Structure 1
């Protein structure tokens, strides 16, 4: 399309400002909805995949009746307290195909002078058998992990070298994990499980504090890493024979989150596709009206030498310009709204046990480009038939019909 066609297309759009703005708004709403929904779904999926890829455990064994609480703790980082006998680890380790097992012990802090902060999710882990915490440190001190050290998740405001205290015990921030979007690793504070047992015992001697209800040797979860080629369903089935425990797999978690995604965004996606179809029909109807209104103009253009293909391109280019501007406006509004309400969005997603990590800039650019391109395709498709009709007009008949 040459520059004269571009200028003419812009002039034609500016001629009917109300109609142009109404179409822009309709297209912007649909494009913004598609872009925002896609961005949120992308963020949840990428956060889940990134977090679980760093999780390192093929299976997670928890006490019977605590599966829902465990999934919530894993995905959102909300403190959850449940315990079982640690002897289960020996049974699991003896199963064929199990490479290693490692315990985790869940605690929580209380408000008051005994703790630097209340309701902190504290997790005791065994540094000697761990394969899910220490390997993913993004920052750390240049020395081995010690008994009085803690590791904080990326969402914590504490930095390496800071001093914390829980139940009267001073602890040093040894390292900080990289952000994953999965609550357990972003929000929790990790310490040596032996220190966690001591802290639990110390809580019984702390005045005006409700003591932690656990005994040495109990654990909250057992993380299981299997050997390459091991039959995970067989191992899971074998562990599940114990009536006092439940087994969680990464597949369970992903399925649960994706079901929530479908529930939350399914109706939005259906509505968006209905609006896309409605926009295509609306654009087709409006451009049919435009062609009828401009028969004289189109006839004159044909009379002075414009080809059929030039008329076709002129009408289609108007639709492409209009929808690309509407798509860009929708993407811009979507980004603004999501950034303004990002805390509310993340809070509501976490309430549904859906972790969220904002997509990287390159992914947002890709999603924005797709939304704008989709808007242009809808516009061109809607204007195709009216443009074809306009290009077939005979100059004399078109001039007479437009008088």
Structure 2
């Protein structure tokens, strides 16, 4: 007889959830909000970390040398892809950097901010001109994915830029063809167009006749110098050496980029974590109130089960199972809802906090979702344990005639 009680308890727990739908729905919504907030927070944390790792790997540089005062613009351009344009003298700086011990390679880049006018440009984008002779960031990808160099009228675009291979793109009146698209990184490179520096100079020269506004770049100037080191651990020392030797420049390390993102993420989490904890406390209180009421209402039912031969543990298992089901249902709904809401507002959140984002692999997302659901179910069982244990201590006749 006892073995036949288990399926009955499962049916009883499921049926009991529908006895008072209003009360059950209130608890379900509380758990759903907690689970959705927790899942969105976890997704943001893992997505930002994933994007930083992928983006810095794609950048391929240990240091970036930029004009003094352009650090914030550079960070925003690298992280979010917001167009930026600033320039510094290039030839002397390159020679000086290459002479420093520990520097393996140094390559210049030119940043161009396009105009939004359709008569001039294909959208408001950031162009990055690289030097094919010295580049160590764009060319390896081209060799691996495209198998060749870019033609004079071709460009390489970030993953978020619209268009198909061969489509025309207009920059300051000059037309280029889309040759290939980079894999997603979650960082600013997804919003960037790459082309040889020589093509940038040609765009600038032709823009006086073809564009609504000419592109002006000081002759011999560059926007940034990317530096690769023999030993990445020497980055702080080499950065200090460059800053001492060159006037009017700032040196950004890969670690500074990662720390800047971590600080921005911390600012977001500083607001999100207290909200999640407050919601969690509210949800646990709702569980406690609900199951104290349920235990009181069903004491006679539990007493009858005990009189029929059920043990104390079996007699309250339906309450705990009911709590686990309610927590799991709320957790599942919260994961689905939290993921959907975050997808709708992802761009606004990332821009507001200057954060990169790249969805983690599906397996990692599933593990995160499963963890949230399991925690919700465990939280429900924990909250219901007090009322259930209190009921289990009653003798069958006490439970049947309890008021």
Q: What's the TM-score once normalised by structure 1's chain length?
A: 0.92
2:213 alignment partner, one of 181, 185, 210: 210
Q: Secondary structure at the match of 2:17?
A: helix
CA–CA separation in structure 1 for the residues paired with 2:232 and 2:175: 44
Q: Which residue is 1:274 aligned to? A: 278
Q: Which residue is 1:225 aligned to? A: 228
CA–CA separation in structure 1 for the residues paired with 2:221 and 2:54: 30
Q: Which residue is 2:162 aligned to? A: 157
Q: Secondary structure at the match of 2:212?
A: coil
CA–CA separation in structure 2 for the residues paired with 1:22 and 1:230: 54
Q: Which residue is 2:102 aligned to? A: 97
1:14-53 equivalences under 5 Å are: 14-53=18-57
Cα distance, 1:316 vs structure 2: 1.0
Q: Secondary structure at the match of 2:304?
A: helix
- Coordinate RMSD, CA, aligned: 2.1
Structure 1: runs of 5 or more not aligned: none
Cα distance, 1:138 vs structure 2: 9.4
Give the conservation status (yes or no) of the 8 Å contact 1:296–1:399.
Answer: yes
Cα distance, 1:229 vs structure 2: 6.1
Aligned residues: 397
Q: Which residue is 1:318 aligned to? A: 322
CA–CA separation in structure 1 for the residues paired with 2:131 and 2:232: 26
The reply to whether residue 174 of structure 1 matches residue 175 of structure 2 is no
Structure 1 pair 333–112 and aligned structure 2 pair: CA distance change class (3 A) = closer
1:295 alignment partner, one of 289, 294, 299: 299
Give the conservation status (yes or no) of the 8 Å contact 1:124–1:193.
Answer: yes
Give the conservation status (yes or no) of the 8 Å contact 1:167–1:206.
Answer: no
Q: Deviations over 1:9-29 (max 9, x none)?
A: 122222222211111111111
Structure 1 pair 141–386 and aligned structure 2 pair: CA distance change class (3 A) = closer
Q: Secondary structure at the match of 1:401?
A: coil
Tell me whether 12-21 or 104-113 shows the greater mean CA deviation: 104-113
CA–CA separation in structure 2 for the residues paired with 1:401 and 1:196: 86
Cα distance, 1:3 vs structure 2: 1.0
CA–CA separation in structure 1 for the residues paired with 2:86 and 2:232: 32
Give the conservation status (yes or no) of the 8 Å contact 2:104–2:228.
Answer: yes
Q: Which residue is 1:77 aligned to? A: 81
Give the conservation status (yes or no) of the 8 Å contact 1:139–1:176.
Answer: no
Cα distance, 1:63 vs structure 2: 0.3
Give the conservation status (yes or no) of the 8 Å contact 1:140–1:174.
Answer: no
CA–CA separation in structure 1 for the residues paired with 2:318 and 2:118: 74
The reply to whether residue 119 of structure 1 matches residue 120 of structure 2 is no
Q: Which residue is 1:391 aligned to? A: 392
Q: Which residue is 2:205 aligned to? A: 201
Give the conservation status (yes or no) of the 8 Å contact 2:33–2:279.
Answer: no
Q: Deviations over 1:195-216 (max 9, x none)?
A: 212222333x326633323223
Cα distance, 1:142 vs structure 2: 5.2
Give the conservation status (yes or no) of the 8 Å contact 2:35–2:372.
Answer: yes
Q: Secondary structure at the match of 1:62?
A: strand
Q: Deviations over 1:148-206 (max 9, x none)?
A: 332111111233333334334343333221111111x1111111112212222333x32
CA–CA separation in structure 1 for the residues paired with 2:119 and 2:293: 75
Q: Secondary structure at the match of 2:18?
A: helix
Q: Which residue is 2:258 aligned to? A: 254
Give the conservation status (yes or no) of the 8 Å contact 2:172–2:213.
Answer: no
Structure 2: runs of 5 or more not aligned: none
Q: Deviations over 1:78-109 (max 9, x none)?
A: 11110001121111111111100111001123
Tell me whether 44-53 or 74-83 shows the greater mean CA deviation: 44-53
Give the conservation status (yes or no) of the 8 Å contact 2:52–2:356.
Answer: yes
CA–CA separation in structure 2 for the residues paired with 1:333 and 1:138: 42
Q: Secondary structure at the match of 1:262?
A: helix
Tell me whether 296-305 or 267-276 shows the greater mean CA deviation: 267-276
Cα distance, 1:245 vs structure 2: 0.6
Q: Secondary structure at the match of 2:109?
A: strand
CA–CA separation in structure 2 for the residues paired with 1:358 and 1:259: 20
Give the conservation status (yes or no) of the 8 Å contact 2:173–2:211.
Answer: no
